[in-house]
Structure formats: structure tokens, C-alpha cells
Structure 1
Amino acid sequence: MSLKRQLSGFELTIFGLALMAPVTVFTTYGIAAEVTDGRVPFAYLFAAIALSFTAYSYAQMVKAFPISGSAYTYVQHAFNSKAGFLVGWALLTDYMLLPMVNYLVASIFLTSVFPGIPAFIWILLLVVLNTFINIRGTKMASWVNTLLLTYAFVVILLFIILSIRFVLSQETALFTVTPFLNDGFNIGLLMAGASLLCFSYLGFDSITTLAEEVVDPKRTIPRAIFIIICVGTLAFVGVSYFATLTQPNYQNFSNLDASGIELVAMVGGNLFVSLFLGGMLIGCFASGLAAQSSASRVLYAMGRDGMLHKAFSKLHPTYQTPVFNLLLIAALSMLSVVMTLSMATAFINFGAMIAFLFVNLSVIGHYYVRQKRRSLKETLLYFILPACGALFVFYLIINLNKYSLVLGVIWGAIGVVYLFYLIKIKGMKTIDMSFNEEAKS
């Protein structure tokens, strides 16, 4: 039994945008404004351009290997099974803990509205609902995500419209470069802002985990990757641009962490605040739904290859989904009752950046080194562009906070011990690549 090919390009794009959760631009705006000294739109553009190199690398690797596993699969083919396992091990911290972060944030919103209901009740309800939807299959998850994402984009559009009305009422210029440059171009501030905001783009990479469930993945997935980057950038830049026009001086916010709510209240009043909070909650739910699905596919690929117990490679006889994996992630997500947001985020940041780094290197390893595609054009496509992506991601890694690095190193050490067990105790020599020819086509 194998995963079922049924997702279209539109459904795949919705999946990636749902995991990206564009409404999170409101939660990071205040801090980003402080870090960039009011140049948030330019920082988003800078981050998008920099991450486009990595997006390009994902597109090239999925063309070569259109199967589940994402970075785990690409690295094991470009280098070797051991490197692939360790990257997959790091990637698990991203996909498996991202649902936890979404449930934790959602529970914070819900308990603020319904203080009499404990947070763990909301977390349990969200986990059960998301797991049920994902078990029923990617088609159902895609349908739900489409509805949820539509609401989120309506909130974004309403904010922009109301901001335009507010700005015009203040007799302020509607079109200006001030939100991009403030008092002038400053590459140091832009790099600092991009380092913070690049994590808003997490989601474009997740669609590669669904490669065996997509119709014509070699064409569909690369196209969807860049659509997700472009749509996300339009949302992020649009919101941050009009947010800057609405409140030109970020120091006037009473609380930078809650600057999004202050902006919403300024342009739309209490009614719009209610709609906005609903959009934030929906964004968390949709992102958790997509992240749980992505994580289950990485576990499926590693189980199929014998890197994890064979239970991870089992599919539901009717829905053809990795039920065991989904239930495991649901159980881990319940740790959001006791885990702090900063700890979970630290794990996610490390795992995502390690995966990004090695996907860029995989393009060089697979195309430039192994296939020896080294003409002038191919050197640009398969060496220079991915090398640019790798250098930017490496910069992000060395600038992660100490908690991300410490937790990442500890998790990596556990992975090395487990790999040693697989090789020395179980006697595993090579990976049994058990995917069928249909999956590769």
C-alpha cells in the first residue's frame, strides 16, 4: 500500500500557506519594527529574496526525487544514508513541534477570552480535531485549510482597507518609501530583521513532504513553492507597510509584543479586534493541521527506509494515511500543556535551518558533483545559486539564540547515538529504498 496521489497545485499551495500562517505578521510586527528601526517591509523583502535561493534548491531536489521525506530524502541521495538520517532527525524537531507551538498560542488566545476554561481543555480539543481531520486524508485537510485560510486573508485584506481609510483621514501620504527606508538604507538592520522574519516563511518547504500525494509532482511542487513565497511576501509586506503608515513611530506602542492588536484597534475598533482574534486563532489551527501532516510524512519515509520502526510506515487501509505517526504527533503535542513557547520555538528554528542548509548543499552534491553538470549555465544553477542559499542559512544558524543551539546540539547528539545503534547493534549497512517506481515518476 502506498500514499494516494490526489492533490492539485491549488490544494498544495493552500497547504503551504496554511502552515506559513500569514496572519502571524501581526504577532512579530512590533519586535521587527524595533530590530529594524522601522524598516519592517524592507526586511520582509530582504528575507524573501534570501530564502528564494533555498526555495530554488527545494524545487531542484523535488524534481530529482519526487518522494516523501523532504530534506531527509534529498540528503541521503545527494550524500549518504547517514547524513540523510541526521538531517531527517533534525527536521523532526521542526515539523513535530510546530503543531505544539500553534496549539500553545491558540490556547493562550482562547483562555484570554474564556478564562474559566483551563488551557489543557482547549489544547486537547484542538489536538483531537486536527488529528481526526488528518487521519481522514489530505483531501479533507485541504478542504478545511481552504476555508480557514480564506478567513485569514479576509482579515488581512480588511486591515489593509481600514488602514488606508485611517491614513487618508490623517492626511498622510499613502505612497512613500519611508516604511522601507525610514532614515536611510542600513544593511546591518536589514540583516537583523531578516534573521528574525525569515522564520515567518516556514511553510514553503513543507509541501515537499507530500510529494507522493501530488499529481505531477515534478511540475506542481516547484511552481507551488514559489507561489507560496510570493503570496506570503505580498501579505507580509502589505500588512507591515500599512502598519507603519498607521503608526509611524513604533516607540508609541504601549507593548511591542501586542502591537498587532493595538494597530487593529486603531483602524477598526473593538469589532475588528474580535474578527482579528478569530483570524489569529484560525491561523494557529490551520498551521497546526498542516504541520502535523508534514511531520507524519517524514516519519513515514524514515520508517519505510528502516531508520525507524516499521510501524511508522503503516498506512490506514481506507484513508491511506500514516495513522500511527499522526497519533504519535498528537500525543507529543499535548506536551504544550507544560512546555514553554520559547523552548518549542528554539527546537523548531534549529531543525528548520539545518534542513535548509543541507538542501542547498544537496543541489551541489547531486547535480554539480555526482552528475558533473558543470557548464557555465549549470555552474550558476547548480553551484552558485545553492551556495548563496547555503551561506545565508549558515549566517542564520550562527545567529540563532543560545537556547536553539544548545537544544539543537543535544538533540543532534541523541540522533548520533541512535545512528550508532542502527549501524553497530542492528547491523544496518545501507538503507532499503522500498519506494516504488510510481512514486519516483
Structure 2
Amino acid sequence: MSRTSLHKSMGVPTLVYFGLSYMVPMTVFTTYGIVNEITGGFLSTAYLLTLFAMLFTACSYAFMGRAVQSAGSAYAYTRVGLGSAVGFVTGWTVMIDYILLPMLNYLLIGLYLAERFPAVPAWAFSLAALALVTVLNIVGVAAVKSANVVLVLLQVVFFIIFFVYAARAFDPSVHPLDPFIRSDLDISGIAAGAAVLCLSFLGFDAVSTMSEEAKDAKHSIPRAVILTTVIGGLFFMAVAWFAHMAAPEVETGAAADVAAVTLLSQIGGNLLTAFFLAAYVTGALGSALASQASVSRILYAMGRDHLLPHKFFGTLSPPRFRTPAGAILLVAVISVSAVFADVDFVASIVSFGALTAFSMVNLSVISTYLVRAERRTVSTYLLYGAVPTVGFALTAWLWTSLAPHTVLLGLGWVALGIIRLLWHTRMFTRPVPRMHLTE
């Protein structure tokens, strides 16, 4: 029987680069004002807490990466560790991230460009970006790899210039530890901010999807997952620290959604702000193009397998384009909500999906390595019991730190997934269908 497989060409450095580029370094400015507002100016501390929590979960991803050699991610890991039904619900929950990420990009493009060009309303920029990306996706214009490299390099150059400008603007009255700890520190506010920042760490989840293209996946995937988490977390923390040292009060009196523009204008003037807008908007357009293409193909795969209405989702446009036009248009229609949504709400919903997936992967480690294991030692209990338990406790804590309306909406999405599961399995009298989240 013939068998096809992906070319195994990615080593640890390539996987780490992939994970960091998926994180989109500029995302640190996406939630800059929002989390500063939530934490009372303790953005650096929130990133430190998030990194600490994510390290335990990254270890769980690394453990499952050794056990699951196929294309991974939370869905595959949970399916193996906790069974098909829990895997399906986890995959369904993660879907909310895929669907809302394009909207987040359109929303931010509108907000930042409107801040620079106040004569044009933000919604006009958002809708223009949405229309452009939707048309490109329908006609089948794909972003080439070289463009992704250019986008990442542009961000690297921007951050080098940012660090130089910020260092020159350091406020001598600010103590180096002030960004992390002061007398007015509120741990509940820090946790709430950290819960939002979890979306910044989706890069290590992305690395786990590349198992079938990685050299020596059993070892390279775990290493790349940990390195991506540590490097990304330290980088985000460094940006937050430099920003606070240069402008500790920048969020005061500024709209939280676009406080990053105020920060950059204060420390680098129009030149740094213009460079930021060019790098950010270009990167957001590329991210929107890729994320809308990805989620539309996932919806197409689910429609093809009759997990969603086949006639709308499971068919392709005419031969000239052969793209899942129905799915692309649905994502575009949902993304129109960017006109009415706010960054805090959308980012929180994305974090809900991410935290739920992270929690399930931690539990999958315990099930795979302890519950089902034939032999258990003290070291296995420490490694595969204590580490994922702490990871689960931390992610669950951050999950409960999200705003109540975010949790309710997220749970409503989970409930819809459970209803679909019961429908397709006819109350579990049929096999649980597989979801194709790596299409």
C-alpha cells in the first residue's frame, strides 16, 4: 500500500524560528495598553507570571510530543491522552481561536491607522483590510515563504530601533525593579492581565503541529517547544520593561487599545511611530491572510467530512480558483464584527480557547504517562504528575481570571461543540468523528 508523508526538513532552529514568527513579536503592542490598564502598570509582572505558567504547560506539550509523532497540537494530544470525545470538544474549543484571529487583525489595523489618520474612521480601515484579504483568499493568492521572512526581519529591525530609543528615554526616577514590583501591586489584577496575555504564547502550540515535518520529531519538537516559550516570554518581558522604564505613565489618559502609539510617539516621535505602523499593519495583513486561509480550509475539511453543512462548507469554488469560497466568506462575515468589537473582548475570547487547550494537554500527560502506564516510579510521578498538575492549576487559575462574560461566551461555544458531538455520534452510538485541524 502506498503511503505519503511530509518532507522531514525542520531542525530545532527552524522550528524555533517558525514558532517565534507565529507568535508575531509585534503582538506585544496589541495588548500593551489593555493589560497595563488591567494590571495597574504591571505589564512586565504579568508577562513574568504568564511565562511561569506557560513553562509548565510547554513541558506538557514536550512530553506529549514524544508520545504523539503525528502532526500534534492540543487536539491530537488530547485525543490520544483523554479519548476521542474529549479530543473533539477540545478541538472544537480551539476553533474559536482560529475563527477570531483574523477579526483581531482587522480590528487592530483599523484602530492604529485611525489613530494616525483621525479623519478616517477605524471601521473604514478595518473593512478595507477585510475586503482585500478576502478577495486574495478567494482568488487563491497565497503568501509566499519569502514574504514571511521579510516581515519578521522588518519586525527585528523595528525592535532594535525601539530598544535604542527607549534606552535613551529612560526616566531616571524609575527604579529598575518598578516594572515588576511596587507597593500598589495587586495579584488579582496581575492574574487577569496574564490571562489575556496567554494568546501571545500560541507559538509553542504551533510548533507542535509540525511533527510530521521535523527531523527526529521525538527530540526536536520538545526542545523547540521549550525554547520558543522561553525566548518569546523573555522577549515580551524585555519590551514591557523597556517601555515602562522609558514611559511609566504613558497609559494614563490614552485610549487603552492604541496606547502603544502614544508610547512610541513619546519616546521616538513621528519617525518611530511611522515605522511601527508600517511594520505592524504589514504584519497584521500577512497574519490575517494566513489565518483566514487556514481557518477556511479547516472549515472546508469539516464540511467535506459532514461535521458542518457539506453544501456550504465542503465544496470548492469554480475550477479557476478552487478555493473554499463559502468558508472564506463566512469567516469574513464574522470578521465584520470587528467594526463593533473591542480588542480586550476579542483577545480574551482567544485566550479562553488557548487556556482551555493548555489545560487539556496538561491532563493528557497525566493520563498518558501515569494512568495508563504499566510501570510507575518516583521520578515519573514527579515528572509526569507534578509538572502537568502545576501547569493545569496555573492555567485553570488564569482561565478563571478572565472576565465573566468572556467565560460565559466561551462555555456557550463549548456547549455547542458538545451538542454537535452528541448529534454526530447519535448519543455515542457511532464513532466520534475526527477533526482536521491541520488541513
Given the two structures, how large is their TM-score scaled by the length of structure 1?
0.82
Moved more, 421-430 or 117-126: 421-430
- CA separation of 1:27 and 1:189: change in aligned 2, threshold 3 A: same
Match of 1:288 in 2: 288
- What residue identity is the alignment partner of 2:283? G
Corresponding position: 1:81 with 2:84: yes
The percentage of aligned residue pairs carrying the same residue is 35
Corresponding position: 1:271 with 2:271: yes
Q: Distance in 1 between matches of 2:384 and 2:305?
A: 27
Tell me, yes or no, if the aligned pair for 1:107 and 1:123 is still in contact at 8 Å. Answer: no
Match of 1:385 in 2: 387
RMSD: 3.7
Q: Distance in 2 between matches of 1:3 and 1:107?
A: 41
Q: Distance in 2 between matches of 1:132 and 1:2?
A: 28
Matches within 5 A, 1:123-138: 123-129=130-136
Matches within 5 A, 1:3-402: 4-5=6-7, 8-9=10-11, 10-68=13-71, 70-110=73-113, 113=117, 115=120, 119-129=126-136, 141-167=144-170, 172=172, 176-183=176-183, 187-250=187-250, 252-289=252-289, 291-292=291-292, 295=295, 324=324, 328-329=327-328, 331-339=330-338, 340-342=340-342, 344-402=346-404
> Is the partner of 2:160 in helix, strand or coil?
helix
For these two proteins, the number of residue pairs brought into alignment is 422
Provide structure 1 residue ranges, at least 5 long, that are not aligned to the other structure. Answer: 316-321
Shift of 1:142: 3.9
Q: Distance in 2 between matches of 1:397 and 1:119?
A: 29
Q: Distance in 2 between matches of 1:280 and 1:234?
A: 20
Moved more, 411-420 or 48-57: 411-420
Q: Distance in 2 between matches of 1:292 and 1:7?
A: 26
- CA separation of 1:303 and 1:14: change in aligned 2, threshold 3 A: farther
Q: Distance in 2 between matches of 1:220 and 1:29?
A: 32
Tell me, yes or no, if the aligned pair for 1:128 and 1:330 is still in contact at 8 Å. Answer: no
Q: Distance in 2 between matches of 1:292 and 1:219?
A: 31
Q: Distance in 2 between matches of 1:305 and 1:374?
A: 40
- CA separation of 1:111 and 1:4: change in aligned 2, threshold 3 A: farther
Q: Distance in 2 between matches of 1:130 and 1:110?
A: 23
Moved more, 101-110 or 75-84: 101-110
Shift of 1:128: 4.1
> Is the partner of 1:8 in helix, strand or coil?
coil
The structure where helix makes up a greater share of residues is 1
Shift of 1:143: 3.0
Tell me, yes or no, if the aligned pair for 2:204 and 2:228 is still in contact at 8 Å. Answer: yes
Q: Distance in 2 between matches of 1:382 and 1:307?
A: 34
Given the two structures, how large is their TM-score scaled by the length of structure 2?
0.82
- CA separation of 1:223 and 1:239: change in aligned 2, threshold 3 A: same
Moved more, 264-273 or 205-214: 205-214
Q: Deviations over 1:70-105 (max 9, x none)?
A: 212111211221111111111111123212221332
Residue 406 of structure 1 is aligned with which of 401, 405, 408?
Answer: 408
Q: Deviations over 1:111-169 (max 9, x none)?
A: 66493966423212124446778x75xxx6543222111111221221111111122xx
Q: Distance in 2 between matches of 1:337 and 1:431?
A: 31
